[in-house]
Copies of this chain bind each other. A is one copy, B any other.
Amino acid sequence: MHFTSEQRLDNGVLEREFTLGPDGDDQIPGTLWTPTSTPAPLILMAHNNGLPKAEPRLVARARLTAAHGYAVASIDAPECGDRPRSAATDQARAELRRAMQAGEPVDDIFESFVGPMVEKAAPEWLTTLDALLAVPEIDGPVGYSGWTALGIRLAAVEPRIAAAGFFAGGYVPLAQREQARQVTVPLLFLLQWDDEGNPRQRALDLFDAFGSKEKTLHANLGGHLGTPSFEREDGDRFYDRHLR
């Protein structure tokens, strides 16, 4: 793990870019945010469906959660963020946009590129987790936050993940819908009641399917981007209950 740049933010959080592995298409680019008081528990934060780790909403969330006292890390996994994408994935994304705008069914298109994307992302997130836990500023249990499908994939197999917060979850690849019952850690499932890209009933069915004995659903009125800011603070308190 090589830190390639760092900046100290006004709120005291240290924001560092890193890479894992040798130069090339397989190199994993990541960002680590650490609070002023360390060592701190770690939260792996992933944006839904491979949006970039540099996406401003993810960065804003990561900075605030780090200021609250967590180490937060995100990576661009294969086919995610700025990593090279196959022509097939680019074509599937274009086709998804077209189909959604036309109001056509999108399951097959979605499955065709998000399913493989999750399978490729999971091992890189686990490799990154190993590397992060060797960083002196990080200690204690691990939380997960964000992309539902990837989070299911990770929480189902990785016992170091002690609590998970998932967002949206209307479209989740079939493999992860089936894995949901294997997720048994405490769960905060956040959805937008009128999410234009995530059918409500499917998200509710997914919440129902999780194997966790302790699971909480938060839903707010509005579309995909309308989550109220207090939900991030609720998320912090959820992790405080389980990672402290």
Contacts and interface: CB of A to CB of B under 8 A. Distances in A.
26 contacts: A193-B207, A193-B208, A193-B215, A193-B217, A204-B204, A207-B219, A212-B221, A213-B221, A214-B221, A214-B228, A215-B220, A215-B221, A216-B218, A216-B219, A216-B220, A216-B221, A216-B228, A217-B217, A217-B218, A217-B219, A217-B220, A218-B218, A219-B219, A230-B237, A230-B241, A234-B234
Interface in A168-220: 193, 204, 207-208, 212-220
Number of copies: 2
Interface residues of A, number: 19
A234 B241 CA distance: 13
Nearest to A216: B220
Highest count of chain B CB atoms <10 Å: which of A204, A212, A221, A241: A221
Closest 7 CB pairs of A and B: A217-B219, A215-B221, A216-B220, A218-B218, A213-B221, A214-B221, A216-B218
Given A212-B221, A215-B220, A216-B219, 8 more contacts: A204-B204, A214-B221, A214-B228, A216-B228, A217-B218, A217-B219, A230-B241, A234-B234
Interface in A214-243: 214-221, 228, 230, 234, 237, 241
Nearest to A230: B241
A212 B221 CA distance: 9
Contacts of A228: 214, 216
